[in-house]
């Protein structure tokens, strides 16, 4: 028993107090600074493992009943994702085994990190057999995304979608359905896309605009623009309204085929149907005009964008600039480039290279000097090949011109 005068009754709270388990009675507390110092230092002498909880995996070896929170903590603490399945197998053999959606998601995501996709399929089969808890669409969306994007197992992703109602008692929503359609289009498995689309009623899925947009993209990528336009006509039949993505997709592939006028016909249709045109749509059309050599129309469309309240971005200006450079209008391109810089839309390195090459060919030495200065201010450094071209062009024009070029090299 401690009997020094520093033991007092707890009715004096104005001084530093610390309750001690070794005292003879809970009423007594420690007030002596020396003892407090010794008391705390006794903990620092203990091994670190006694002060912090050890690896929680050992709990699975004991028969103590584990709460859901404790089980989650065990799996969250696993550092090596390759060991997840062995820990999971250990947990499934316990009497208190009772998984839920959060635990399934955690384990599957860790297995995905380890690229152990076979183990994920094993767990999904076990879920199907056990039916231990109800799972949400969000859970299956995550699993299908792992199968499709990480594992490249498109068929397994597709099978999981169709297994949802009968195997897992969960009907897919349109978001999960569209994910599978998009996986098929991205993998260019076009012959299956329409087959899956037709089975939407069987899965209880109500078609939306996003679903039809995916079909249009797939058909366009497969080179079947006629069928893509047929899907466009299907929108009202499915009680859907096409959106800006619908039209921009069709415009992109029309322009790629050189059908720019037909693409502009879709622009008129958008305006008639009250669908707001965005910057991406205008950029597609400007790019289409550029590829057909219709540079002036591209510049006019840039002005029309602003009148429509659609602010051009760097891509809009860049397409017009490339058009001027492709057409060999280098003086106009330089003026346009100055305008871009003033408006905060920096030209690309390729633009500067093409412009300098063109100006050198036309022996516009003074213009080259200005472009070089601007290029350096934009943070671009000319490469050796560009310098050789510039110097060669200047030497052929006048020996004095080399001073211009070399002044840029040394930063003068």
Q: What CA–CA distance (Å, rounded) separates 345 from 390? A: 25
Q: Which of 45-54, 97-106, 111-120, 182-191 has the lowest mean pLDDT?
A: 45-54
8 pairs with which residues across the strands? Answer: 29
Please list the helix, strand and coil fractions of the chain in percent, rounded to the nearest 5, in that order. Answer: 65, 0, 30
Mean pLDDT of 160-170: 95
Taking the model in full, what pTM does it have? 0.75
Q: φ, ψ for residue 104 (rounded to 5)?
A: -55, -45
pLDDT, one tens digit per residue, over 378-408 is 888 877 877 777 777 766 655 444 444 444 4
pLDDT, one tens digit per residue, over 61-86 is 667 788 889 989 989 998 999 999 98
pLDDT of the residue at 396: 65
pLDDT classification of 59: cutoffs 50, 70, 90:
low
Considering the chain, what percentage of its residues have pLDDT values greater than 70?
80
Q: φ, ψ for residue 18 (rounded to 5)?
A: -145, 120
Mean pLDDT of 223-229: 94
Contact 217, 249 (CB under 8 A): yes
pLDDT, one tens digit per residue, over 269-302 is 999 999 999 999 999 999 999 999 999 999 999 9
């Amino acid at each position: 028993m401690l009997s020094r005068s520093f033991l007092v009754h707890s009715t004096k709270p104005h001084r530093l107090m610390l309750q001690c388990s070794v005292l003879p009675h809970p009423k007594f507390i420690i007030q002596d600074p020396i003892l407090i110092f010794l008391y705390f230092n006794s903990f620092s002498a203990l091994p670190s493992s006694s002060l912090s909880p050890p690896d929680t995996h050992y709990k699975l070896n004991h028969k103590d009943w584990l709460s859901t929170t404790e089980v989650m903590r065990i799996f969250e603490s696993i550092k090596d994702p390759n060991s997840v399945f062995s820990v999971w197998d250990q947990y499934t053999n316990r009497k208190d085994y009772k998984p839920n959606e959060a635990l399934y998601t955690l384990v599957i995501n860790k297995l995905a990190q380890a690229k152990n996709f076979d183990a994920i399929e094993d767990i999904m089969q076990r879920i199907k057999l056990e039916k231990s808890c109800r799972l949400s669409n969000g859970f299956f969306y995550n699993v299908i995304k792992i199968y499709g994007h990480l594992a490249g197992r498109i068929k397994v992703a597709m099978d999981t979608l169709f297994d949802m109602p009968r195997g897992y008692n969960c009907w897919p929503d349109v978001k999960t359905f569209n994910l599978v359609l998009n996986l098929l289009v991205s993998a260019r498995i076009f012959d299956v896309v329409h087959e899956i689309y037709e089975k939407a009623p069987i899965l209880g899925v109500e078609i939306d605009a996003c679903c039809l947009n995916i079909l249009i993209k797939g058909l366009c990528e497969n080179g079947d623009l006629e069928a893509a336009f047929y899907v466009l006509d299907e929108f009202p039949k499915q009680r859907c309204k096409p959106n800006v993505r619908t039209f921009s997709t069709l415009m992109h592939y029309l322009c790629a085929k050189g059908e720019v006028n037909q693409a502009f016909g879709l622009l008129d249709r958008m305006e008639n149907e009250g669908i707001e045109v965005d910057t991406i749509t205008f950029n597609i059309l400007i790019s289409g005009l550029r590829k057909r050599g219709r540079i002036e129309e591209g510049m006019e469309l840039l002005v029309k964008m602003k009148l429509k309240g659609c602010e051009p971005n760097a891509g809009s200006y860049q397409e017009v600039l490339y058009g001027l450079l492709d057409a060999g209008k280098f003086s106009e391109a330089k003026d346009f480039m100055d305008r871009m810089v003033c408006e905060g839309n920096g030209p690309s390195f390729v633009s500067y290279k093409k412009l300098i090459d063109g100006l050198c060919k036309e022996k516009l030495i003074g213009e080259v000097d200005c472009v070089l200065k601007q290029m350096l201010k934009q943070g671009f450094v000319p490469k050796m090949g560009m310098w050789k071209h510039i110097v060669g062009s200047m030497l052929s024009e006048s020996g004095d011109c080399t001073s211009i070029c070399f002044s840029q090299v040394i930063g003068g």
